[in-house]
């Protein structure tokens, strides 16, 4: 458990707070590139700040404070120009750095505009996503995680605003045993109630042991499930959390398709988190992928609640969201009773505290990349033959929010064609099949 004060320190993300300063040392995803295709602006709430992401008519992206320095109207309704955006109220113009470059109704020759500046932050696009950096300059490099730079991959990204603090979402990723219950026994109970007897999954398999290894970019978590060998990818390789707020998972697909899955938890403020489920599917040579699937990173909303407002508890990702939200807006860690299986959560909290101290000393925290050579060589292994998804893509689709992607049906077709062809050639689809 943490004291109420320690909990406060690890959860608050506003400017000037210890965790707010740590989070400001990293790039955060704030939009899919395609959101700025049909619109010139998008409201962004990030680390307690209200911002506007905009595209000017020159195609340049900017991220500046939402409320105009003049009399606080919203720049989300601004008028784009070749090199900036004008406030809709009185036409003051701002460039991508937040500098005020024109005040059309001030006297000619006035230097007033030179003394007006909105907060402006760096943005960069990668893998179909737009990332923002709110910290001190010089900004570190935007990490080239495998799935964001893989050539010829099919990409899509699900999104949900989760009304709780970012930390309880991340702690879920340091807690392997929850899968056995939340995605296993609960799933079976939901099926029992729906009279879908006879589960086809083996996700409730017991954890024989779990392990956590720190590495330069975060923590690897590993699990040995009942019936699996120590040679299984789940135990031998495991999967990492990329410090501080990304989970990287390998999801089925065997060793032929390379599937990169990232769950990115972006703190909007102390009590809300923008959650992205980003997927990149790298096809093996010879797979016929419709060009439409390669042209964009499709963004979709993940409706984790049904029409009646209840959690969709037959979907793995919604099971997680239920657990996160029901812990409260900010989980009261001073009331917890941690057990032996919480060793990953404890390790992660200790790392957060250690890295907060580094930032307070003026040092870079872990995983901040400043060397291009390091960034170009960034490759983070993840498990491939995930024991959870032994029936492959069908199961992955049915059990995750991927079923809500606009690419869902096309993906299903591509995978089905691939499987048929492989079966005809008698090549196993999963290496452990």
Under the rule (CB under 6 A), what is the footprint of ligand FES? 68, 70-71, 73, 87, 89-90, 92
Q: By C-beta, is 70 or 255 nearer to ligand FES? A: 70
Minimum distance of ligand FES from residue 45's CB (angstroms): 20
Q: By C-beta, is 66 or 320 nearer to ligand FES? A: 66
CA atoms of 189 and 199, how far apart (whole Å): 10
CB-based burial of residue 193 (10 Å sphere; 0-12 exposed, 13-18 middle, 19+ buried)? Answer: exposed
Residue 18's φ and ψ, nearest 5 degrees, are -55, -50
The stretch among 75-83, 112-120, 291-299, 317-325 that binds Fe ion (CB under 5 A) is 317-325
Angle of helix 343-360 versus helix 4-11 axis, rounded to 10: 70
The stretch among 129-137, 229-237, 242-250, 315-323 that binds Fe ion (CB under 5 A) is 315-323
Is residue 264 classed as helix, strand or coil in its secondary structure? strand
Q: By C-beta, is 85 or 323 nearer to ligand FES? A: 85
The stretch among 316-324, 369-377, 389-397, 412-420 that binds Fe ion (CB under 5 A) is 316-324
Minimum distance of ligand FES from residue 303's CB (angstroms): 36
- Assess 320 for contact with Fe ion (CB under 5 A): yes
Minimum distance of Fe ion from residue 323's CB (angstroms): 8
Q: By C-beta, is 84 or 176 nearer to Fe ion? A: 176
* Residue 236 interacts with, from ligand FES, Fe ion, none (CB under 5-8 Å by kind): none
359-378: which residues touch Fe ion (CB under 5 A)?
A: none
Q: By C-beta, is 29 or 69 nearer to ligand FES? A: 69
Minimum distance of ligand FES from residue 34's CB (angstroms): 28
Among residues 123, 164, 168, 137, the alpha carbon closest in space to that of 29 is found at 123
* Residue 320 interacts with, from Fe ion, ligand FES, none (CB under 5-8 Å by kind): Fe ion
Sheet of 218-225: strands edge to edge? 207-215, 218-225, 239-242, 246-249, 258-269, 272-282, 154-162, 297-301
Among residues 32, 95, 6, the alpha carbon closest in space to that of 279 is found at 32
Q: Residues 266-305: x/- map of binding to Fe ion (CB under 5 A)?
A: ----------------------------------------
Q: By C-beta, is 21 or 320 nearer to Fe ion? A: 320
Q: By C-beta, is 17 or 263 nearer to Fe ion? A: 263
* Cα three-residue angle 379-394-288, rounded to 5 degrees: 65
CA atoms of 157 and 394, how far apart (whole Å): 18
Number of shown-chain residues binding Fe ion (CB under 5 A): 1
* Residue 90 interacts with, from Fe ion, ligand FES, none (CB under 5-8 Å by kind): ligand FES
Residue number closest to Fe ion, CB atom: 320
* Residue 89 interacts with, from Fe ion, ligand FES, none (CB under 5-8 Å by kind): ligand FES
The encoded tokens of residue 325 equal 């939200």
Minimum distance of ligand FES from residue 70's CB (angstroms): 3
Q: By C-beta, is 71 or 329 nearer to ligand FES? A: 71
Minimum distance of ligand FES from residue 67's CB (angstroms): 8
The encoded tokens of residue 259 equal 């599937």
CA atoms of 233 and 241, how far apart (whole Å): 16
How far are the Cα atoms of 144, 170, 240 from residue 374, in angstroms, in the given order? 10, 25, 18
CA atoms of 412 and 294, how far apart (whole Å): 15
Q: By C-beta, is 199 or 353 nearer to Fe ion? A: 199
Phi-psi map region of 48: left, alpha, beta (phi>0 left; psi -120 to 50 alpha): left
* Residue 73 interacts with, from ligand FES, Fe ion, none (CB under 5-8 Å by kind): ligand FES
Is residue 252 classed as helix, strand or coil in its secondary structure? coil
CA atoms of 339 and 347, how far apart (whole Å): 13
CA atoms of 68 and 248, how far apart (whole Å): 38
Residues near Fe ion (CB under 5 A) are: 320
């Amino acid at each position: 458990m943490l004291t109420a004060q320690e909990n406060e320190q690890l959860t608050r993300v506003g400017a000037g707070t210890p965790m707010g300063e740590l989070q400001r040392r990293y790039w955060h995803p704030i939009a899919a590139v395609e959101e700025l295709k049909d619109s010139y602006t998008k409201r962004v709430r990030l680390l307690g700040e209200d911002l506007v992401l905009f595209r000017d008519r020159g195609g340049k992206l900017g991220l500046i404070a939402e409320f105009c320095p003049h009399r606080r109207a919203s720049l989300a309704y601004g008028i784009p120009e070749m090199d900036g955006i004008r406030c809709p109220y009185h036409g003051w113009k701002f460039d991508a750095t937040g500098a005020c470059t024109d005040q059309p109704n001030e006297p000619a020759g006035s230097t007033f505009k030179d003394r007006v500046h909105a907060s402006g932050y760096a943005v960069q696009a990668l893998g179909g996503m737009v990332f923002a950096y709110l910290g001190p300059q010089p900004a570190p490099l935007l990490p080239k995680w495998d799935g964001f730079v893989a050539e010829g991959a099919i990409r899509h990204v699900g999104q949900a605003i989760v009304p709780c603090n970012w930390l309880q979402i991340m702690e879920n990723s340091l807690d392997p045993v929850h899968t056995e219950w939340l995605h296993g026994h609960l799933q079976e109970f939901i099926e029992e109630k729906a009279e879908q007897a006879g589960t086809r999954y083996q996700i409730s398999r017991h954890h024989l042991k779990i392990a956590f290894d720190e590495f330069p970019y975060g923590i690897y978590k590993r699990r040995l499930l009942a019936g699996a060998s120590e040679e299984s990818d789940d135990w031998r390789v495991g999967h990492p959390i990329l410090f501080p707020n990304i989970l990287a998972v390998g999801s089925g697909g065997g060793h032929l398709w390379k599937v990169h899955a990232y769950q990115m938890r972006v703190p909007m403020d102390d009590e809300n988190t923008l959650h992205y489920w980003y997927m990149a599917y790298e096809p093996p040579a010879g797979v016929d992928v419709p060009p439409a699937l390669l042209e964009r990173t499709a963004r979709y909303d993940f409706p984790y609640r049904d029409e009646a407002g209840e959690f969709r508890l037959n979907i793995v990702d919604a099971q997680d969201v239920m657990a996160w939200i029901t812990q409260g807006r900010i989980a009261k860690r001073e009331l917890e009773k941690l057990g032996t299986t919480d060793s990953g959560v404890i390790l992660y909290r200790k790392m957060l505290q250690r890295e907060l101290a580094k930032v307070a000393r003026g040092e870079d925290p872990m995983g901040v990349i400043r060397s291009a050579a390091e960034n170009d060589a960034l490759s983070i292994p993840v498990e491939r033959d995930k024991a959870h998804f032994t029936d492959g893509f069908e199961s992955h689709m049915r059990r995750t929010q991927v079923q809500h992607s606009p690419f869902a049906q096309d993906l299903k077709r591509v995978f089905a064609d691939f499987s048929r062809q492989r079966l005809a050639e008698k090549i196993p689809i999963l290496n452990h099949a």
